[in-house]
A and B are shown apart, each in its own frame.
Chain A
Amino acid sequence: MTHNANWFLEYAWLVPLLPALSFVGILFFGKRMRYKGAELGIAAVSLSFLLAVCAGFAWIQHHDDVGYQAVQSSTQWLQSGGVEFGAGVLVDGLSVMMLLVVTIVSLLVHIYSTDYVGDDKRYTHFFAFLSLFTAAMLFFVLSDNILQMIVGWELVGVCSFVLIGHWWEEKPNSDAALKAFLTNRVGDVGLIIGTITLFFAAGGGNTFDTIKINEAIVQGEVGHTALVVASVCLMAAVMSKSGQFILHTWLPDAMAGPTPVSALIHAATMVVAGVFMIARLYPVFFEGMQIGGSSINLMATIGAVTLVFGGLLAFVQDDIKKVLAYSTVSQLGYMVMALGVGAWTAAVFHLFTHAFFKANLFLGSGSVAHAVHSFDMKKDMGGMRKFMPKTYVTFIIGSLALAGLFPLAGFWSKDEILVGTGGWGLFGGTGGNGAYTFHLLMGLFGAALTAAYMTRCVYLTFHGEFRGDRSHGDPHESGPRILVPLYILSGLAIVAGFVNLPAGFQLVGDSWTERFGHYVEPYKSSYFPAIDHATPSWSLAVVASVVALVGAGVAIYYYFVKVDRLADQTQQSLTELPDGLSKSNGLAGAGHKVLVNKYYLDHLYEGVIVAFTKVPLARAAYWVNQKVIDRTVDAAGETAVLVGRQVYDVVDQSVIDGFVDGSGRVSDATGEELRQINSGKVQNYAAILFAMAAVLAGTFLIIFAL
């Protein structure tokens, strides 16, 4: 099926190869280069980006010519048990879309970083790992089999580990890096078992090939039990990688890494790896989770809970990056929920738009932090719009897009997710794979939360009076290498939604609607389940917008009206009302405390589970080792010596005595004497001991023969 595929699709493996080579180049020669390796990284990623763009056009051409047919090329990787395992690339609409997202965000982050970490002492090292990360992520999305996906999955994890711990001198940073890696390892248990289950169950057995596995499931050749096991196990992996409740706790801590890393890895690309995996292996989940014709399932519910719980946590953060981190958790929840209700395209489309506006917001927060040398909104920010008007405008655009307001990117993708729940049936919505009304309500609630916490974030950062340290002069606007990526990303945050206008959108012709879904969703391919598509609903779009505006409105009333007025009266720069709800109302206060403590999950993990394993359990195991097993061994040895002595007294030249006691003494003597005396004796003693061993063996021989 790959006969006449376009060159750019056939050679898509060059896209990850270039940054991989750049990693090696920077690692070995980076320090000697003029720009300390950054130029190599940027050149490689730029080329990758160009190739990805060409691959995008090539895919459109290919799709128009032959329809949705993946271009797959692979070679043998290894062979075991007579089974051959391939390695290769799978190019289709989904992977080409990911290539574009990853390369463009990575390129902008590279450029941004030349300024942001410009005077870092491990600058070259930083760029080397940015390259490696980009290569690993691209490798992951192009994988044509699950084994290869595991490799990419773990490699991006290790890059994340290294970059979170970039400033490893400080313990909190290395703690955060370890937490990220270990939490993901927990999820990986599911990944390993799920993958193995699929290997034996699907695709006629003994294959990791994604398309073969998917096809087998679509054709109903795979047992249901195996799919349930596989989908639940893989879900655990998704929960850790894509920050789903209850394995999300590493993601906010990961903000210890440099901001460009947060934007690239912990918002736009790596954390969507889990979402991508569900999308890639969708038949597994569609059948395993029984998505069609239902109104509740595990995946959709995990997503729904995550989007609300994550959104709530964003309210109590003082650190601007943590607000964005919890916002990311919440948005990932939207994507997982969308996949859970069968709205595949909506989820992938939201992944696409979210990458741009979230990278925009993260880099914007970095721009502010760069100016005030802090991420604390309450202590060191406030009134930043006066000092950084350009950053302010881009940040506002990103916030509006995230809040899902018309006509920015987030509006279109969020609306599609809400439509896709199929829960709007009472009010004229149709289609979808079931009636996920609960999930629709959670999604709407999340929309209000999103708009509200972003309003709070914008107020605390950019409005009111500056609360930071002015002793080194006023903060000032960032330079062009920071601003230009911000302009581009905010531009994308405006227009990215237009690529998938809903069908029946009257302002443009039909040939302009649903372009994204048309080229990305493998609906007509052989490896995709028969999902139903919901029909867009005007009424839902209006309701969702109103809900978001209400969320924003409440927050605006609180901050921009009440707090601002009080601040004017008291001539202070305030961040909250002194007699706010959480202080005056006991229940709200308790809720606030639960949020500040992050639902006590960290206490459970670190204080209980990890602490128990590290100290009592490990010590108990070691105690058993030393006091039980080893003591038995020692006792056996001592008894043998004792028995030997006894026997020696009775029977001269006893075998046991000669062996146990004798060898002990000889080794004592040897050890001591060899320290001073020449090596000639080594041979003597060696001969003696060897002879003894031989005698022993001979004795057994004789005993046996008799």
Chain B
Amino acid sequence: METIADTNWLLTVVVFAPLVGALIMVLIPQEDEQSHKQVALFTSLVTLGLAAFLLIDFNYGDAENLQYFVDTQWIEVIGAGYTIGVDGMSLPLIALTALIMPLVFVYSWNHIPEPGNAKAFLILSLILETGMIGTFVAQDLVLFFVFFEVVLLPMFFMIAVWGGENRRYASLKFFLFTLFGSALMLLSFLALYFLTEADTFSMLVLTENAGEGITRGTQLLVFAGMFLGFGVKVPMFPFHTWLPDAHTEAPTQGSVILAAVLLKLGTYGFIRIAIPMLPEAAEAWAPWIGLLAVIGIIYGALGCLAQTDMKRLIAFSSVAHMGFVMLGIATLTDFGINAAIFGMVAHGLITGMLFFIAGSVKERYHTLEIKRLGGMLAQAPRLGWILGFVSMASLGLPGLAGFWGEFPAILAAYNPAAGVSEQTFRVYMVVAAVGTVLAAGYLLWLLQRTAMGEPSAEFADDPNITDVSTTEWIAWAPLLFGIVLFGVAPGLIFEVTDPAVTQSLDNCITTLTGCEVAEAAASSGSGGG
């Protein structure tokens, strides 16, 4: 299993490069904002470059195994190791994170939110980056937990300091909610440590162990702890209420990072930790996860329809979209989990982009109240068209990235893993499909009310309302390009994740292979006739 390549220093560098940049910035005086912006952007570009190298150097023929694997002692007393590695499941998410951060810094070039202080803001962003990438590469539960928590604080400050009017409430809610989840998650991790005979936090060992030696009842409880911990982060209905507040109050950059990467930490936890380590419990919980997922799809969409604020609407749409991701995961099939990972990347690009647009609208109109907006296509045609394009992507238009997260997840629900009720998931499939209609509804109504029609009298002659600026173009172009690229060539992601997902499930879930599915379907089909 151990793959020792001669480039195994690479991951460590990718993870900590942003932190190095942050340390350098600590030494630069606060007044020198330009230097801070330069260092932050440079650092993130270096990280992106390293990640790009990782993408090139990665052995795709062996995507199912951990590469750049490092395993050294860290805290010997508790048996925690500094264990990191990357496989096909985490590679796309690392790439996504490394891509999003430079765009955030480009955008920050002339958009440092009130009350200023670029130094603190940018340092926090860099710490976030280390935390996020670290979570995706960690192969030890303690290390995973540390990185998972490292993400929490900078985001808390970002909302509490640079947020909107209601920032204090929103930030505290975000913090306490997530910490509550984390505590339960930590309990579960500890339970795994003590209850398995291995006495280790190594995710590899615990995955191979796959819950052996733990009674079913305990497995269910331990899984429930993780379910809560990760579920809050996703966020799953009914633990989602921190999300709209956090998003609405967060500065644009915070919202983008939150939507594009932070939410994925939760779903990634399900795929990497909860399911492979406790497969039996996963099968038992799957119908409930699926239920909450489809409730989230419909409920999130209805929530969107009720919104009067553009940013809050986009925030609610995340609840619905992450519902599709969770539905894919709940099927416990390779189709479903591939779709989930694709959905995570697609949601990152698309919703990240939507929050950028919301930020730019706020900057121009000084409001995000939908009924006061209108006629954006006439006043800022490019901005309006981009909003239209991204809305189409978000509602799952085939040919753009969003579709490949949604459709395969619905497909997977037709035929969940062997231990999971087929009837239940077929109902979920239909509900999820209905959710796509509502998604089109709220996004197109948003588009109609903000972009179409004549500009309202209030803003008709406002010189502030200008079209997309150069920095915006630079920050957005990669996202827009990615939305088209992965929509046209979804294989770019599926082919990376597929071997890793298949192997991860083969270890633990009693799945049927393609041919067996066919036989089963044929026999059940002819049985019906």
Same complex: yes
- By a beta-carbon cutoff of 8 Å, the part of chain A in contact with chain B is 76-83, 150-151, 153-155, 158, 165, 168-171, 174-175, 178, 181-182, 185-186, 188-189, 192-193, 196-197, 199-201, 204-206, 221-226, 613-614, 617-619, 621-622, 625, 629-630, 633, 637, 660, 663-664, 667-668, 670-671, 674-675, 678-679, 682-683, 685-686, 689-690, 693, 696-697, 700-701, 704
Is B213 part of the contact surface with A, judged by Cβ < 8 Å?
A: no
* Binary per-residue interface labels of chain B (280-307) against chain A in the complex, 1 for a CB within 8 Å, 0 otherwise: 0000000000000000000100111111
Choose one: A154, A683, A686; the contact of B398 (CB below 8 Å). A154
A679 & B117 in contact (Cβ 8 Å cutoff) = yes
* Docked CA distance A652–B446 (Å): 53
B30 & A663 in contact (Cβ 8 Å cutoff) = no
B494 & A78 in contact (Cβ 8 Å cutoff) = yes
Contacts known (A77-B491, A178-B448); A82 close to B305, Cβ less than 8 A: no
Contacts known (A151-B399, A185-B437, A199-B411); A693 close to B120, Cβ less than 8 A: no
Contacts known (A79-B494, A222-B525, A697-B183); A193 close to B176, Cβ less than 8 A: no
* CB neighbours of B444 from chain A (8 A): 178, 181-182
B183 & A158 in contact (Cβ 8 Å cutoff) = no
* Docked CA distance A619–B434 (Å): 19
* Docked CA distance A664–B242 (Å): 16
A663 & B172 in contact (Cβ 8 Å cutoff) = yes
B179 & A696 in contact (Cβ 8 Å cutoff) = yes
B433 & A189 in contact (Cβ 8 Å cutoff) = yes
Choose one: B305, B333, B440, B518; the contact of A81 (CB below 8 Å). B333
**Chain A residue nearest to B528 in the complex (CB):** A225
Q: Could you say which interface size class chain B belongs to?
A: 35 or more
* Docked CA distance A617–B177 (Å): 28
* CB neighbours of A613 from chain B (8 A): 302, 305, 438, 441
* Most chain B beta-carbon neighbours within 10 Å: one of A78, A630, A686, A693: A78
Choose one: B157, B334, B430; the contact of A686 (CB below 8 Å). B157
Choose one: B154, B186, B339; the contact of A697 (CB below 8 Å). B186
Is B521 part of the contact surface with A, judged by Cβ < 8 Å?
A: yes
A171 & B453 in contact (Cβ 8 Å cutoff) = yes
B529 & A671 in contact (Cβ 8 Å cutoff) = no
* Binary per-residue interface labels of chain B (390-408) against chain A in the complex, 1 for a CB within 8 Å, 0 otherwise: 0010000111000110011
Give 17 new A-B contacts, CB below 8 A, not counting A81-B338, A222-B525, A614-B305.
A81-B502, A150-B398, A154-B403, A169-B453, A178-B448, A199-B411, A206-B514, A225-B529, A618-B303, A619-B306, A625-B241, A633-B241, A667-B156, A679-B123, A682-B120, A683-B26, A697-B145
A224 & B528 in contact (Cβ 8 Å cutoff) = yes
Is B115 part of the contact surface with A, judged by Cβ < 8 Å?
A: yes
**Chain A residue nearest to B455 in the complex (CB):** A169
A200 & B175 in contact (Cβ 8 Å cutoff) = no
B120 & A169 in contact (Cβ 8 Å cutoff) = no
Choose one: B160, B454, B519; the contact of A169 (CB below 8 Å). B454
B521 & A185 in contact (Cβ 8 Å cutoff) = no
A81 & B491 in contact (Cβ 8 Å cutoff) = no
**Chain A residue nearest to B319 in the complex (CB):** A625
* CB neighbours of A205 from chain B (8 A): 514-515, 517-519, 521-522
Choose one: A199, A224, A637, A701; the contact of B190 (CB below 8 Å). A701
**Chain A residue nearest to B116 in the complex (CB):** A675
* CB neighbours of B129 from chain A (8 A): none
* CB neighbours of A189 from chain B (8 A): 430, 433-434, 436-437
Which residues between 412 and 453 of chain B lie within 8 Å of chain A, taking CB atoms? Answer: 414-415, 429-430, 433-434, 436-438, 440-441, 444-445, 448, 451-453
* Docked CA distance A451–B521 (Å): 50
6 of the cross-chain contacts (CB-CB < 8 Å) are A151-B398, A168-B453, A169-B453, A633-B177, A679-B123, A689-B153
Shortest A517–chain B CB gap in Å is 31
* Docked CA distance A193–B436 (Å): 12
* CB neighbours of A675 from chain B (8 A): 115, 161
Shortest A246–chain B CB gap in Å is 16
B334 & A80 in contact (Cβ 8 Å cutoff) = yes
Shortest B181–chain A CB gap in Å is 13
Shortest B167–chain A CB gap in Å is 7
Shortest A314–chain B CB gap in Å is 29
* CB neighbours of B160 from chain A (8 A): 667, 670-671
Shortest A463–chain B CB gap in Å is 39
